[in-house]
């Protein structure tokens, strides 16, 4: 039974990795969230980091991406305040590459 579950999980992971890799432009690695490019990284659980990365990679619409980005940043600011931390500003707008599609 365990072998069947492991095989099923492996098949799902292989399928998902194929989808992620096919979404990246030829020769480019897919975007990876990390502490250097994700506002509030240190305030997110490992599961939230994975979900955030998958969500960001999946956007095809600028307005939807921007709404998510604004909500994510507001949540990270709230968490930082609750912990008495300053959340660094700036950084790259991960929705920027979708702007041309919005026109």
Using the predicted structure, report yes or no on whether residue 24 has a pLDDT greater than 70. no
Using the predicted structure, report yes or no on whether residue 15 has a pLDDT greater than 90. no
Indicate the average pLDDT of the chain: 77
How far is the C-alpha of 22 from the C-alpha of 61, rounded, in Å? 18
Q: Nearest to residue 81, comparing CAs of 48, 45, 50, 40?
A: 40
57 touches 23 (CB < 8 A): yes
Which of the pair, 17 or 79, is modelled with greater confidence?
79
State the pLDDT at residue 87: 84
State the pLDDT at residue 5: 62
How far is the C-alpha of 34 from the C-alpha of 21, rounded, in Å? 18
17 — pLDDT class (breaks 50, 70, 90): very low
Residue indicated by tokens 């997110």:
44
Residue 103 DSSP symbol:
-
State the pLDDT at residue 78: 95
The residue count for the chain:
103
Mean pLDDT computed over 72-91: 89
Give φ, ψ of 64 to 5 degrees: -65, -40
Which of the pair, 10 or 44, is modelled with greater confidence?
44
Mean pLDDT computed over 67-96: 89
Reading the block at residue 88, the tokens are 């660094």
87 touches 77 (CB < 8 A): yes
């Amino acid at each position: 039974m365990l072998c069947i579950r492991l095989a099923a999980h492996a098949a799902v992971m292989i399928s998902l990795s194929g989808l992620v890799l096919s979404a990246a432009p030829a020769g480019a690695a897919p975007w990876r969230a990390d502490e250097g490019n994700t506002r509030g990284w240190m305030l997110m659980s490992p599961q939230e980091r994975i979900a955030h990365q998958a969500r960001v990679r999946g956007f095809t619409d600028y307005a939807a991406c921007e709404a998510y980005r604004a909500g994510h940043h507001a949540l990270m600011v709230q968490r930082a305040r609750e912990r008495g931390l300053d959340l660094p500003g700036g950084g790259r707008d991960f929705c920027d590459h979708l702007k041309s599609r919005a026109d």
